[in-house]
Amino acid sequence: MKVLVTGAAGFVGSHLVEALLARGDQVVAYDHRLRGKCLSERVLAKAHGVEADIFDAAAVKTASRGCAVIFHCAAVVGVDAYTTRPAHTMEVEEVGLRNVCTAAVAQNGTRVVYASSSAVYGHAGGALDESLVIAPVSNYGIAKRFGELYLAAQYGEHGLQSAALRIFNIYGPRQDERLVIPRFIRQALAGEPIVIYGDGSQTRDFVYVGDAVTAALACADRTAGCEIVNVCSGSETSVRTLAERVIALSGSGSHIACHAPPAARTAFEVQRSVGSRAKLAALMIEPPTQLDDGLRSTIADRLSAHARARPCGR
């Protein structure tokens, strides 16, 4: 099967490219900067690389020709970027998804798998499932919710088949320090204080990148119509516990330092976040990776990657 991956050189995109190649798919890897991020030369040699911007509608259309599925991972990454460039964050989501959908509809049969986010749940607490009436509060969450609604409109108007993946707090090898787990790992390995915002009692659902990739493939192969699926572990872990596990698993002597969160991050701070895995479990039988196992893999990658070129974003 021929597929297109946008944001292919980023964190999630690069893991997805590798998995698709491993199962024998023909992969078009689309990114505005293919080298110097997450894709190795070995992987690039096996894929068809297209270096172009997601804003380039003609390039997206050309790259998608003959593709059965478009995995749309291109996005702005990191809370700092969302807070300093909110309009750009939303523009990348809107224009990028519009170009992807236009290309898919033109081919009459191409499906779209879209990397959405648990940020769409806003300040909703408890176990979060896809049937909840949601109210995102951050510009990033609003942009992702717009993407989900846009896909629903494309299905209603054009019959475009799609799956929106509400990805929770993803982590794993090759992720850069704009995200919490690689930042904690860097601080622990350097013997620096592990900086957490607030008292660390806030919880998150940490999902390993390999599980997210498996979920994306399952949704591409097994969902129909216009679906929304949580991509999560179904377990919640406090940020303090996360820091303690990173310290223990890395053999670090670091201590935990509690700081007040920057004012600009207020909309992104929620007290509790854990996803319902029921819908995802109906699509895939693999159990989620346990947090300690995922952390060990991520720490091992960090230890072996000091000579690697610049880390990458999602």
pLDDT tens for each residue of 243-268: 999 999 999 999 999 998 777 666 56
Instruction: Note the pTM of the prediction, 2 decimals.
Output: 0.93
Polymer length in residues for the chain: 314
Annotated domain spans of the chain:
2-170+206-231, 176-204+235-272+290-303
Residue 174 in tokens: 């090759």
Superfamily of domain 176-204+235-272+290-303: UDP-galactose 4-epimerase, domain 1 (3.90.25.10)
CA–CA distance from 84 to each of 126, 175, 261, 264 (Å)? 30, 21, 16, 9
Q: Grade residue 307 by pLDDT with cuts at 50, 70 and 90.
A: very low
The C-alpha atoms of residue 303 and residue 34 are separated, in whole angstroms, by: 24
- Pairing outcome for strands 203-204 and 237-238: antiparallel
Asked whether the predicted pLDDT for residue 309 surpasses 50, the reply is no
Asked whether the predicted pLDDT for residue 310 surpasses 60, the reply is no
Taken in order 151, 123, 128, 5, is the CA torsion positive or negative?
A: positive
Residues involved in catalysis: 140
What is the pLDDT at residue 282?
92
Q: What is the mean pLDDT of the chain?
A: 93
CB within 8 Å of 119: residues ≥ 6 apart: 136, 138, 140, 141, 144, 268
What is the pLDDT at residue 58?
98
Asked whether the predicted pLDDT for residue 141 surpasses 50, the reply is yes
How close are the terminal C-alpha atoms of the chain, in Å? 24
**CATH of segment(s) 2-170+206-231:** 3.40.50.720
- 143-164: average pLDDT: 97
Asked whether the predicted pLDDT for residue 308 surpasses 80, the reply is no
Do domains 2-170+206-231 and 176-204+235-272+290-303 share one topology? The answer is no
